[in-house]
Structure 1
Amino acid sequence: MVIQKCPIWGVDCSVSNPYGTPDIYLVEGSHRAGGDFEITADAVSEIDGTTEDDDKARITSLLVEQWIKGVDVPRLTGNDVQWAKSRSRLPMLDRAERVLRLLVSRSSYLGDILDFIDPNDRKALALGRDTSGLDTSHFEHALAWSEAINVEELGHITNYLAQRGLIQKGREISNSEGYSVWGTDGLYSCVVDVSGYSLIEEIQTNLDSSQCFVAMWFDDSMDGVYENGIKPAIKEAGFSPYRIDREDFAGKIDDEIVAQIRRSRFLVADATHGEDGARGGVYYEAGFAHGLGLPVIFTCRNDMIDKVHFDTRQFNHIVWENLDDLREQLTNRIGSVLGDGPNIEG
């Protein structure tokens, strides 16, 4: 098999076979894919014929997850590609957090101005600038990290970051008609605000945490779900489960919930409930974790999935039938989203 372009996006890059095996390739310099990565022959076959940009964006997003976890050169397998194609698009808050994380990593100093140029965008060309000699890697990496399929999507995400005060406009650039091209047509110049740095530092601190906050219905009927399903799954993945109702603390419970979520690496939210209806606390805690940029893994017993609140139906839920099913699915999901936890024994 001879590969001459990026297997995902078909753009020019370097593809080599440095490992002495015909089944693994090293792809270097594909900015649209977000960076350098390895890919197996069966993954190439799975991707071959993929024409939908949505699918390509989800496959690319899987690579980004590995870079965020600290993997220098992630590897894509055939199973990875199949899973990426089947999953839902990332929630908007997660995509925005990724873009902010990228901007922070690319800023050399506080106040550094980052220019984003799309070499194929008509508005960029309307500026009268020769884009062929400009560094377009910021723009292409931002597309990859945000799971965006075009400049309009990226523009909406960056507008959201600006509205929250996490980034600011860098340079005022206008097109030939005098209209600013900074906005939903695409972000061309920005500066990360101090609040943006602070948010990423807070998220980064959580990356060192081994704690998983568990949000669920605290009813006696759910004790077995926790003890034989959720708790062992979290521990097998290398993390430590935390349930607020099983801990001693001084002060108000609301303050302790907020503090413990902030100390956690991620949150598991089980939407199973009784005849009294949905548990508002579960949705509040999941929403708060999302606002902090923490991964949230939703689970729900199969007979309750149709009753999940409409605000969270967009998220991919683990739908479980029994405790063994819950334990296996949750362990696998934690591993795929977060990798091995710090408590995994070598």
Structure 2
Amino acid sequence: MSVVDRYTLLADIGGTNTRVALAQGRQMLPGTIRRYANKGRDSLEEILSDYIAEESVRDLAGACVAAAGPVRDEIATMTNLSWVIEARNLKSVTGAEQVFVLNDLQAQGHALGHLAADAVREILPGQPARADAARLVVGVGTGFNAAPVHEAPGGRLVPPSEAGHITLPCQTEEEFSLKRYLEAKHEFASVEHVVSGRGLERLYAYLAGHEDATVTGQQILEEIKRNDPTARAAGEMFVRFMGRVLGDLALTHLPFGGIYLIGGAARGVVPWLSEFGFAPAMHAKGRFSDFLKAFPVSVIEDDYAALHGCAAFCAARVAVE
């Protein structure tokens, strides 16, 4: 049996849930996707053991997992979950010949070009670019992160980063007041403290004057639809910071091939991007303002994009190693 005929195991580990699936070659098999709650589980190995038993999986050519946290030397440390994921342990529990551990944004970067056409929607036009132009994936969900995507002679390169933990870029007195509020609670005001699902909730609590507010991000989005002034103010500040951060990242990486937004929080605010000033915030870089208009922005609307990316990465590596 060839490598392409055999299955590879895929996993996308978030702070709350883990999605597991199988792939043949670069093709992720949608019918094999299973979702597991992380709460009450001691490790990823426990989830994968259950999946392998439930699906009667055997003879895996490879496995690739995407983890929401920093990865170094094939070891991932989850940012919002007390798990440490090691390739050697996954190899033992899965029996896979080769195992790869990626940061979740790396997996999203490897998904580009392997998603259905209707899963990618342009929300801000840019200028035409070469097929091998650099791209940038930006995850705005429970947390925030970004990763550049480069097409190289030896294959696609998606370096990992922890962009969510850079300093929150403040400009106005209102924003510096927010920064002081966040520093009092968290010692440091990061991009992720604001530009994320939890960040939207923090903004609402701050603006409402209720530190213990329990309004969820989804509820805030519903309140924006109802023209609630506090919810709208939180949404506008969220969008303004998101645009500003994307502008900074665009100047850092020059993604002429496009910026791709991923994650529930990003998708949630898309209807108000124009109204809340996303493009002006992204482009407001002085004499480089017009330059920034070259970078198109799209939103990815496939919840399983990371699994597609794991499949593509694993297929390329298993084929050559």
Give the TM-score band, short-chain normalised: under 0.3
Q: TM-score, normalised by structure 1?
A: 0.26
- Structure ranking higher on relative contact order (CA contacts 8 Å, 6+ apart): 2
Give the structure with higher Rg (CA).
Answer: 1
Greater strand fraction, Structure 1 or Structure 2: 2
Q: TM-score, normalised by structure 2?
A: 0.27
Greater helix fraction, Structure 1 or Structure 2: 1
